[in-house]
Structure 1
């Protein structure tokens, strides 16, 4: 009985606990590359990024929208990428699409034809953590100007609106107007 239980547990995989990079296909692993700079980004790549790099780039734009998302999200607050892209284009925001892990990556890549913005992923190695909840918190804390290891407070949202490098507001959904 114990042998059967052990074999069953070994065959199970937990999705979303870590960044799930090791579970990607060889083809998708090849798409994930370190960000060297923000010039000439290739939409076929996924650029590993940390909040320091992102904040430096935010400073170069009058206003930006950073959307931190989970691939394959089915919540009412998760819209297709083209919705965020259309909003950003209409309102004059520079858009940064930042995934917090690779679980469900194919659901995002399958819709790649509907949006043109480059894709980024939080660089968990930079944050020295393999756990999604930890490196995402560190990234969000640094992005919002908090000390990295600040404990998570009330959930405000995953849409970060910036004027230059200054955080203006965090929202759960796109503004209606």
Structure 2
């Protein structure tokens, strides 16, 4: 009887848990937050309302990279507290001083609205363009065509640098850019 009670208690605990990070996390957003997520129909340069999150396609990112001299893609995880994860606002400011355009591309919706972003657009991978709901898989399918390398080959770096439309290098630490 004691084991049955413990098993039931553990099962109830597990069913009330929300596992974060396996999928995009869109279902975790409130209705108000979901209204602030917009599928971008035009070019990234045409974004002027920074209060929303824009779902973008691989082709829109390719077009942006091809039309700007220096571009850094930040594969942003909003809830990351690693020393390698930096504030998007700080990164944009740091790179602006170096003449580098930054695209902050979130890889998950969880905690995406906790950061204030008033000087740059917050982008999110439009996961509908990939035949999977799993975050690790859609990240590979999004970044491999851009860099030509797997996550493992890039040592799981989050900062991908391009010049004149060509991939140059990925960085694990934003201070190395």
| Same fold flag (TM > 0.5) | yes
1:139 to 133, 138, 142: 142
Structure 1 partner of 2:30 = 25
The answer for unaligned runs of 5 or more in structure 1 is: none
Structure 1: distance between partners of 2:32 and 2:123: 17
Structure 1 partner of 2:124 = 121
The answer to whether the aligner puts 1:11 opposite 2:16 as a matched pair is: yes
Asked whether the 8 Å contact 2:151–2:157 carries over to 1, the reply is no
Helix, strand or coil at the partner of 1:91: coil
Structure 2 partner of 1:163 = 163
Number of residue equivalences: 170
Return the offset for 1:24.
0.4
Return the offset for 1:156.
4.5
Structure 2: distance between partners of 1:49 and 1:152: 24
Asked whether the 8 Å contact 1:67–1:97 carries over to 2, the reply is yes
Structure 2 partner of 1:79 = 86
Deviation beyond 4 Å, 4+ runs, structure 1: none
The answer for unaligned runs of 5 or more in structure 2 is: none
Structure 1: distance between partners of 2:16 and 2:162: 44
Asked whether the 8 Å contact 1:137–1:152 carries over to 2, the reply is no
Asked whether the 8 Å contact 2:154–2:170 carries over to 1, the reply is no
Return the offset for 1:175.
4.1
Asked whether the 8 Å contact 1:72–1:107 carries over to 2, the reply is no
Structure 2: distance between partners of 1:40 and 1:151: 29
Q: What TM-score results when the alignment is normalised by the length of structure 1? A: 0.86
